[in-house]
Structure 1
Amino acid sequence: MKSVLLAASALIATPALAANVDIAVQGPVVEITASETVQSEPDRATVGAGVTTRARTAVQAMRDNANKMDAVIGQLRGLGIAREDIQTSGVNLNAAFQYNNNNTPPVFQGYDVTNQVSVTLKDIAKIGATLDALVAAGANNINGPYFSRDDDKAQRGIARETAFKSAEEQARDYARMAGYTNLRLLSVEETLQRGVPIPFDVANQAAIRVTAAKVTPIEPGRVGTSVQLTAKYEMTR
């Protein structure tokens, strides 16, 4: 994404965290926004797994769910996943009704309980086997995996340098077109862009089956690390 703002100005104010800094300028100012994304292989993934149960009473629904969820969490721990990498993301209890189209009152079906955990997997190669094992242990809600990198400082540095060079090149083009020969950097502001995990959609959860010969296939692909910055330059002669 690239955008340009060109304006004649006698004074430019650059916002900062501690104070406003005023820089006197004589020539016109060009403002460039440039972004860059660096692709790299993910080294971790996040998976959501949980259990939904139904019973006639809320108490029984919670008890049934707790028993099944204990088995799911036990399976995760048995796979070598550390306790700090398993986090409860939500427990929901709702009354369930069957709604009819003949204007009759809805029929009470019981209570639904859903308990979901978010699991960080640090071994990409074992994601498929982990999903299969979770389903075998009783999980009937699976979402993800969402791929990411634990440390993307190197990728962010490359993206930052490339975006900065791109901004300067664009500013020089505008200066040349406006009849100026040089630039003076006035400010650089980077927009913080956290890496967004890329999901692998397990759309048909019923198709996940545990067999000795086949493990759910997972392709991690690549994830992007992005930097966006805005640079202001004074055009000089």
Structure 2
Amino acid sequence: MMRTFTTMRLALAAAFAIGLASAAHAQTPAARQPTISVTGTGEAELKPDFATIHVSVETTGDTVAQASSANRAGTERVLARIQGLGIGKDDIQTANFQVFQTPPRLGPDGREIKVPKFSANHQLRIKTRNIDGVGQLAGEILASGDMTFQSVSFGLDRQEEGGDKAREAAVRDARRQAEVYAGAAGVALGRLIEIRDGSAQPFEPQPMMRTQMAFKAADSIPLVPPATIRYTANVQLVWELAERP
């Protein structure tokens, strides 16, 4: 009986030792696969499809009603002139309309100058596909003297195409960098394990002007349209590293 009890104790001790060894082995972290993380940047350039001229009609009055009524009349004259230049109704849109109190003005002697109490501002967007003639069109629009020319911008019908091409270029740039790093370190690229999307943004030069000068019908505003609109994008890619074959 004593021998049987001793044998059982030895068996239990051995089993306990094996269990501890197995637990220790299970808690040992697996060797981490080395990785490389690279940020790539890319660009794409596309020719603009249209130009948008931004103008405003500004009027004043001693009451909100007077300022708004004067603005409505001025806007009607402006719309008639713009449409007379061959711009369709669908290509003219209201960007913003607001009526606000006119801030006080002081003369050279420091005394307040009497001005109408309220101002109304109606901002319009005028779209044209005649990119090369945008300066001439802007001059003809302003010939009436009823508008303030604010700015002109250029855009694309296919906005997503520029962003996608820039993203493709960013991925190629990231892979090129990763291959250079891996080659210099004497290893190879393994699986692509992560893609972190960056941003794709268009960059377009926008000539900014503001004028209330009187223009003759034949005058042209000196605007130089951009040859292309440039999109930029960035992306972060992560690869596993492997031994060279």
TM category, shorter: 0.7 to 0.9
Say if 1:39 and 1:225, in contact at 8 Å, map to a contact too. Answer: yes
Residue 85 in structure 1 maps to residue 81 in structure 2 = no
Structure 2: any 5+ residue segments left out of the alignment? 1-29
Which of the two has greater helix per residue?
A: 2
Structure 1: any 5+ residue segments left out of the alignment? 1-23
Letter in 2 for 1:117: L
**Which segment drifts farther, 80-89 or 46-55?**
80-89
SS of equivalent residue, structure 1 residue 42: coil
Letter in 1 for 2:96: G
Aligned 1:1-237 pairs, distance under 5 A: 26-96=32-102, 97-99=104-106, 109-110=115-116, 111-152=118-159, 154-203=161-210, 205-206=211-212, 209-212=215-218, 214-221=219-226, 222-237=228-243
Query: Which structure's CA Rg is the greater one?
Result: 2
**Which segment drifts farther, 181-190 or 86-95?**
181-190
- Identical-pair percentage: 22
**1:4 corresponds to which residue?**
none
The count of corresponding residues between Structure 1 and Structure 2 is: 211
In the superposition, relative to structure 1, how do residues 55 and 152 fare at CA in structure 2: closer, same or farther (>3 Å)? closer
Say if 1:208 and 1:216, in contact at 8 Å, map to a contact too. Answer: no
In the superposition, relative to structure 1, how do residues 100 and 138 fare at CA in structure 2: closer, same or farther (>3 Å)? closer
Shift in Å, 1:69 = 0.8
Say if 1:172 and 1:182, in contact at 8 Å, map to a contact too. Answer: yes
CA distances 1:117-161 after superposition (whole Å, capped 9, x unpaired): 122222213312321222123443222211122225554444333
SS of equivalent residue, structure 1 residue 195: strand
* Inter-partner Cα distance in structure 2 for 1:46 and 1:202: 13
TM-score w.r.t. the length of structure 2 is 0.74
CA distances 1:70-111 after superposition (whole Å, capped 9, x unpaired): 11122222223232322211112122222479887x565221
